[in-house]
Chains A and B, each alone.
Chain A
Amino acid sequence: MSNTSVSQSKPDNAPKHKVNWGRLEEAERFSELVKLYRQGKLHPDDFRRFRLQHGAYGSRMSDDYSMIRLKLPAGEVYSEQLEKIADLSEQFSIGSAHVSTRQNFQLHWVALEDVSEVLRGLAESGMTTREACGNSVRSIMCSPLAGVCPDEVFDPTPYAVAATKFLLRNPLCQSLPRKFKINFTCCEKHGMARMVDIGLIPQQGEVNGKLQKGFKVFLGGGLGAQSFVGHQLEQFTSEDQLLYTIVAVIRIFDRLGNRDNMARARMRYLVNEMGWEKFQNLVLKERAMIKMLLSVLVKLEVDKTEEPMRKISINSEMPSVPQGYSRWVKSNTFKQKQPGFSCVFLTLESGDVTSTQLRAIAEMAREFTADGQIRNGFTQDMVFRWVRNEDLPRVYSKLLEVGLANPGALTMASVVGCSGTTSCNLALTNSHRLAKEVQRKFIELKIDEDDDLRNSTIKISGCPNSCGQHEIATIGFYGGGGRLGKDMYPLYTMSLGGRSDEDTTLGHTCTKVPAKRVIQTILKIVEIFKSDKKQGETLDLWMRRVIQGNGGPNVKSIDDIKELLKPVVAAPTKDTDGDFYADYGSDGSYHTKTGRGECAA
């Protein structure tokens, strides 16, 4: 049996991936260990650790299926890689991929026996899942605007890639007390530097009278059942100190992190229990020791070669501008610091994207982006950079054809929702679907066009564990169960006023909101805000004022908001409103059911 082969000669000057993160032998080993595990020759706990180290979670109520999380350093992905992910999703998953809040793709409901095939396919295209889960250094994030943000001091992307090269598969990081997260960002505004283990913002500083590149380094932040905002290590950390600083922090965490109680094992607890000053001193001392004791000079391999920008062909024929373009261009594009170029943000629903759409996105990156790549963002979104402003109408038309032209990406209408009961063992509610429902409603109501709401965010988690990052949302929710008499219903706890920029604040708990009242509740908050705000004030700033207790005559504090919401969040009896008692996506009555959490494995 020989196969008919078709060689496609597509003219393609799109750049290919530069770093090969994948290892074929890891796919082969995975397949061997699945067989041993199935034959009972490998202890389930040992297998679980191995599986997580290679990016495969168990699925809701079943270890026979995996959620495979890719590791995409800095969120960078190329067209050929997107096409591979599209193929793998169609063949082994559910025909859709999911963009996480940490810039990765996740493939859900993959049979455990096929995980090795997915790893093989990814490795063939230079991608890996290694250390995407488990007690390791997770994918190192970098702002999707890095390199094009008008407010950045310099592009941190090469540092994120270099740090990954050093840490990935490094024995130092194979058995940490718990997962460890590192984020690079472009500037103070496009934040998320203060809510991870190590957050880094580029800055210039003077060392011995010489201007140097370096970073503001924040340590010990993180979201979860108990959340903390990170502390700044020192005024300025020069780039040649970067690697030593990272290694020093990881070594301290490895030595002193709580290995007895998984629920308190993240580094933020260590920092909190020890006290910041003591921790800070430890880090500085450890860093000095590392530098002194090193017999071999270890340096980050930072690739600073300028990316050559491709000439992209501009069609001289001007298309007729499709309906909805101006609304979309306002809410989904961002002017780069390089004149003439824009970034385009794609509004996905809870980060879900079909294989067909991935292929269309890959094709568009080839056609319209001068850097020929795609970056996944921080809010379950995907971003084209280096698009010529003249091409934006054409980009919009193409997005329309594949159902990806929804407006609202950079506004409150774009809602984050973790995977919830669609696949996660710990979830109590279908936060994933709820986020989609809220987003659809808000786009229908044109919430994205309201400048007062633009800077605000809505984020939803299906349990208190913060994967949906609800605590840094202007309006955040986490799922649980409520009860009226004997009847249970899905119920969210709502927090207000969270943010992740230079004024990083964790949201304040306001009240509990039934799942089927979340939309009305948000709309009611908007109504209260509109009647109470000062001229020119945006929702997020009004919220901050209210939380600080400086509210207006009608709404002095967060308790006043709670009082005003009481009629909206009241539970009807099951006889009067049966639907209230069922979660989104289910017909039956609601009950909380969870399995073992693997974050803790």
Chain B
Amino acid sequence: MCGLSKEKTTRVTVDADKLRSEIRDKSVKVLDIRKEEDYKQGHIPDAINLPLASLLADDSPDKVLQYAQSFGISDETPVVVYDDTFGALASRIAWTLEYIGHEDVSLLDVTYSTWKKLGLEVNSQTPNLVKTNHSLKLKPQILATADYLVPAKEKGAILVDNRERLNYLEQHIPGAINIPYRMLASGQNILRPKEDLRRMIQNRNIRPDSEIITYCGSVGTLSGLGYYALKSLGMQNVKLYVRSFKEWKSLEKPIEQQKDANYWDLSAE
């Protein structure tokens, strides 16, 4: 594996069998990122509901810390996150936990729909939660801000836009390269096997030790998945521009586009 760090290595994804045994052992906290009404219809046993919208309403570190503590997540508790949106929403939550200093957080490698299709157990009971303590150790090294981007780029950081190709062609942050989120998944899994992802990164001449900043359209979901795809390869210097292109535009920063081509008219949508 390229670029193994000295830090404690965390698993980026967890497969269904592993998660089931951890749920049986009660050695894991599972977060379900879907809407409350979907959660109530049924969820993975013992999963706690944290709809993405609730988190986005206030994702300040203090608020996130409160959530973690109220869910009974301590510094050492392994957390596994899932959604039904190809892992993008789960990635955003996982990143947020990582940002406040929670190290052991992973993504379930399939979505809830696939979990059900596999015939695995679901129920609609809400687990009892016991409050616990969690420390706050912010990890600014995984966060990128608008002000950070330009100087970082000048120093060689690679800016990765995880939106779909047509959106990227229409407008993107100057100098960004495009790795559409659809490239990251394979078949039933939210992330491709490592050897596939590594080949795609190598095809782009990206070195394992490069600094990479991912962004997407508005709140860092698609780029959250991009962030974890790169992390799964052992790349350590990856950041998420969490406020993404929406903020960039609102700040009226420069924008690049593929001009003089009517590519939207090729879409059969």
Contacts and interface: CB of A to CB of B under 8 A. Distances in A.
Contacts of A571: none
Contacts of A116: 203
Contact of B268 (A111, A357, A430): A357
A114 B268 contact: no
A108 B118 CA distance: 35
A59 B114 CA distance: 37
B203 A114 contact: yes
B264 interface: yes
A432 B114 contact: no
Contacts of B259: 61
B263 A113 contact: no
Contacts of B263: 60, 94, 108-109, 422-423
Interface string A96-128: 101000000000110101101100000000000
B127 interface: no
Interface stretch (B12-20, B26-34, B50-58, B90-98): B12-20
A418 B178 CA distance: 27
B94 to A, nearest CB: 14
Instruction: Tell which of B118, B182, B264 has the most Cβ of chain A within 10 Å.
Output: B182
B269 A60 contact: no
Contacts, number: 127
B217 interface: no
A583 B265 CA distance: 12
* Residue of A35, A91, A353, A420 ringed by the most chain B CB atoms within 10 A: A91
A436 interface: yes
A19 to B, nearest CB: 25
B137 to A, nearest CB: 25
B262 A3 contact: no
B261 A91 contact: no
A583 B15 CA distance: 51
Contacts of A354: 267-269
Interface string B111-122: 000100110000
Interface in B117-137: 117-118
Nearest to A5: B188
Contacts of B232: 1
A352 interface: yes
Interface string B1-42: 000000000011101111000000000000000000000000
B56 to A, nearest CB: 26
A3 B265 contact: no
B242 interface: no
A80 B22 CA distance: 37
Contacts of A419: 266
B169 interface: yes
B258 A436 contact: no
Interface string B164-191: 1110010000000010101100011100
B250 interface: no
Interface string A274-294: 000000000000000000000
Interface residues of B, number: 43
A90 B110 CA distance: 19
Contacts of A3: 13, 15, 109, 189, 193
Nearest to B179: A111
Most buried by B among A35, A61, A109: A109
A455 B199 CA distance: 51
A38 B205 CA distance: 9
A573 to B, nearest CB: 25
B12 A1 contact: yes
Interface string A569-601: 000000000000001111000000100000000
A39 B203 CA distance: 12
A273 to B, nearest CB: 37
B195 to A, nearest CB: 12
B259 to A, nearest CB: 7
A65 B53 CA distance: 36
Given A61-B258, A113-B203, A421-B260, A352 B266 contact: yes
A348 interface: yes
Nearest to A403: B268
Given A1-B232, A420-B262, A421-B261, 16 more contacts: A1-B109, A2-B15, A4-B114, A6-B114, A34-B203, A61-B261, A94-B166, A95-B182, A113-B205, A114-B203, A348-B268, A352-B268, A354-B267, A430-B262, A433-B262, A585-B262
Interface of B: 11-13, 15-18, 109-110, 114, 117-118, 164-166, 169, 178, 180, 182-183, 187-189, 193-194, 199-200, 203-205, 232, 258-269
